[in-house]
Structure 1
């Protein structure tokens, strides 16, 4: 083969090509993302519409059917299902697997937007969400009270929280403490976590947010002749900032705006609701204003104790392990800035099972490679031949990372399993080529001629063997369905590794065989007296194994002659 001749005539060039493959593979390995499974896009879009107070029958006729008729004309839909509940309609659109999920979601949003004017005004705005397994939280953090802190420490923590949040008049304990802790978590902790590279969203569960509640007094409303709608309208109109316009002159331009947003809770009580007999009726006369907390919409418990939970979602295509490492580093920095009486504890870490699974497969890969080299050494009984053939393994494995990076693959259980399974296949071509070159050397040929003739003689058989392996595994990478999406990286990874090993067997192995002579070739099969330390230790084992295989070969030849 022509590249065998090129490598034999230009050994330095062949060496540089192998080094280039290794260097590019190492750089690609550093850029590869690590995940548990391949990044699979499931083209499923869910439309959720709320219709408060409506029965399932009304939701079905007024909302669900209209949404179904609107999105049914989108191309590529595989299945369309819907569910109508009390006050809620859910429409699930499953697209064919070759459809891009983001584009499908955009098409659904366009169709839903055209259907929206036909829905009743009581119907809430439809929500269109794309099913994405990568959107699940990868890390969770709990904000817990520090039970080991003393009572004075807890009291100081509350005072510090009050001072830092600027909430004058708040008293320690109870709802106020929960509100202050939520405010600290939203304004400081959440923003710090959002600044970590790769974080897509931080959701707060179990929060108790501050809210100004106005409790109406029915007797006072009746006495003053004021309706609840008047109170609502007054609060809405008075508590806002409005731009009025601009005053222009030849020399300057001034912007005019109304700054009427309330600054303190007691300011709400001074809002004028109406005027009776020329006297203003204020909110504090018909209602009670309380600086309290919102109604609980979500609840987070840790060991039966109420807590604040921050769940973090990573951005699309980010490395899960790098994101979690950045979050852990951010929390470590935040521990020194925590208010007294508060502690942070990580309760969910998706990177941990990924690390364990990937490390187990990686360890299996290394063990398989070492055992393969050991078996080759026992059969060849020459450390030079073992090195020449064994170099195919690291070059092929590292070079595969280059193609994985080019194809957008990740280091996951599927790709590592593919590399583990093909370890034995990668060294087959090199063994066959090396054995044939050794046979030609034993026939009395020179190293260069033996390398060239031996490779050319066996080249077609090695090529046919490699292509048969490619023909078996390449179709696996192009199977259909969800399973095909998972095994796409499996088949392509094995094919890339096998092709690289064949290229190395036809270039590096003949070149090394031509320039690196092995004296043990001429003594093969002969019993020699142990001279060196190697001959007296490892050489005894390999020599015994070599003589055993020779005896087995002679016995097999005798059986063939007899038959």
Structure 2
């Protein structure tokens, strides 16, 4: 499992640890004038695993480690122990050497039965989903060669991550769909709706490319940023299209209407977009632990909004110039007439309107 790409550690839970036990005979030690400390020191010098420096391997530098050579209790029993008078004896002549297990300090139970569990931890920067797939493939290969061993998945955090990812993607698609529905409802023009709807993918797809350049991944934070701004991405395009439609109804050609309308509200659209950038981008420079999470949120949201500005200022007028047609005259909906009456009343009673606005503004501070 450690050979799977992205696996940082494999921790065992339960089971036993092999231990070679050396039980010294005190009578023989006394006869040979030996102490347990002397034997322990000689064993430590022979069997100790320790760093051994570095060596050049081709064009790379590789660390070297000295590894103990004795692997079984029988081999350890054949090791020579030096005496003080210069003679040497085998370890099994003064001790009983046998394979055993270390003291149990943990236990794992599954359905009431003792098992050996393994906790797999991904390395820093690795994908949870990719590591889970790699581990699953490695376990399948292990089952083919060790059919007598049964493996079961007990706990998995990847499913939660994948469900959250699926939920975020569904939220983005639902938001995009509802944004298009709102555009249809208000513009009441199929061609204008198509032009406005193209602003969504044309703004989101380049954002993914810049996320790769920044080293960001598709995670809950970046998907949250996209889901929050998905409705904002069509705002600039809607403003451009609505003004172009107004010029079309004045009798101008689509090309002339697109040029003049885009030039007329260009600065307003740019100011609106940079206002949104000023809201989202500062979150990318937060300090502390929260800042490490929100750096991706702030940049993703700001970049998506900036790409929507480019689409609205460059592609939307071009598409309107060659695709839009004047709207067919139709009766004004009743709700628009009600809105126009309210707007006229506010314009004719400016002081009352400003006073009510101030009351709501300062009253919101007490909520």
**TM bracket (short chain):** 0.7 to 0.9
- Paired position in structure 2 for 1:540: none
Q: Aligned in 2, Cα 1:446/1:211: closer, same or farther, shift over 3 Å?
A: same
Q: Aligned in 2, Cα 1:271/1:386: closer, same or farther, shift over 3 Å?
A: closer
The equivalent position to 1:551 in structure 2, one of 326, 331, 337, is: 337
Q: Aligned in 2, Cα 1:202/1:508: closer, same or farther, shift over 3 Å?
A: same
SS in 2 for 1:204: strand
Residue 470 (structure 1) aligned with residue 277 (structure 2): yes
Q: Does the 8 Å contact 2:76/2:91 carry over to 1?
A: yes
Q: Aligned in 2, Cα 1:368/1:221: closer, same or farther, shift over 3 Å?
A: same
CA-CA distance at 1:461 after TM superposition: 1.4
Q: Does the 8 Å contact 2:254/2:325 carry over to 1?
A: no
CA-CA distance at 1:343 after TM superposition: 0.7
- Paired position in structure 1 for 2:124: 316
List alignment gaps of at least 5 residues for structure 1.
Answer: 1-192, 241-259, 527-545
Cα distance in 1 for partners of 2:304, 2:85 equals 92
- Paired position in structure 1 for 2:206: 399
Q: Does the 8 Å contact 1:235/1:268 carry over to 2?
A: no
CA shift digits 1:493-551 (9 cap, x unpaired): 221111111111112111111111325x1x2334xxxxxxxxxxxxxxxxxxx623443
- Paired position in structure 1 for 2:9: 201
The equivalent position to 1:500 in structure 2, one of 307, 324, 328, is: 307
The equivalent position to 1:429 in structure 2, one of 222, 226, 236, is: 236
Q: Does the 8 Å contact 1:426/1:501 carry over to 2?
A: yes
Q: How does 1:86-485 map to 2 (within 5 A)?
A: 193-223=1-31, 225-232=33-40, 265-266=73-74, 268-269=76-77, 283-296=91-104, 298-340=106-148, 342-485=149-292
SS in 1 for 2:333: helix
Q: Does the 8 Å contact 1:426/1:497 carry over to 2?
A: yes
CA-CA distance at 1:374 after TM superposition: 0.4
Q: Does the 8 Å contact 2:192/2:324 carry over to 1?
A: no
Residue 525 (structure 1) aligned with residue 311 (structure 2): no
CA-CA distance at 1:299 after TM superposition: 4.0
Cα distance in 1 for partners of 2:46, 2:278 equals 76
CA shift digits 1:452-500 (9 cap, x unpaired): 0111111121112112222222222222333233222222222111111
Q: Aligned in 2, Cα 1:416/1:561: closer, same or farther, shift over 3 Å?
A: closer
Select the structure with the greater relative contact order (CA < 8 A; seq sep ≥ 6). 1
Q: Aligned in 2, Cα 1:363/1:226: closer, same or farther, shift over 3 Å?
A: same
CA shift digits 1:110-163 (9 cap, x unpaired): xxxxxxxxxxxxxxxxxxxxxxxxxxxxxxxxxxxxxxxxxxxxxxxxxxxxxx
SS in 1 for 2:150: strand
Query: Greater CA deviation, 438-447 or 401-410?
Result: 401-410
SS in 1 for 2:330: coil
Q: Does the 8 Å contact 2:248/2:325 carry over to 1?
A: no
CA shift digits 1:379-409 (9 cap, x unpaired): 1111111111111112112221122222222
Cα distance in 2 for partners of 1:405, 1:205 equals 38
Cα distance in 1 for partners of 2:247, 2:85 equals 120
Cα RMSD over matched residues?
3.2
Q: Does the 8 Å contact 1:525/1:550 carry over to 2?
A: no
Q: Aligned in 2, Cα 1:424/1:231: closer, same or farther, shift over 3 Å?
A: closer
List alignment gaps of at least 5 residues for structure 2.
Answer: 49-67, 350-367
Cα distance in 2 for partners of 1:389, 1:239 equals 74
- Paired position in structure 2 for 1:136: none
Q: Does the 8 Å contact 2:13/2:117 carry over to 1?
A: yes
Q: Aligned in 2, Cα 1:275/1:417: closer, same or farther, shift over 3 Å?
A: closer
Q: Aligned in 2, Cα 1:288/1:456: closer, same or farther, shift over 3 Å?
A: same
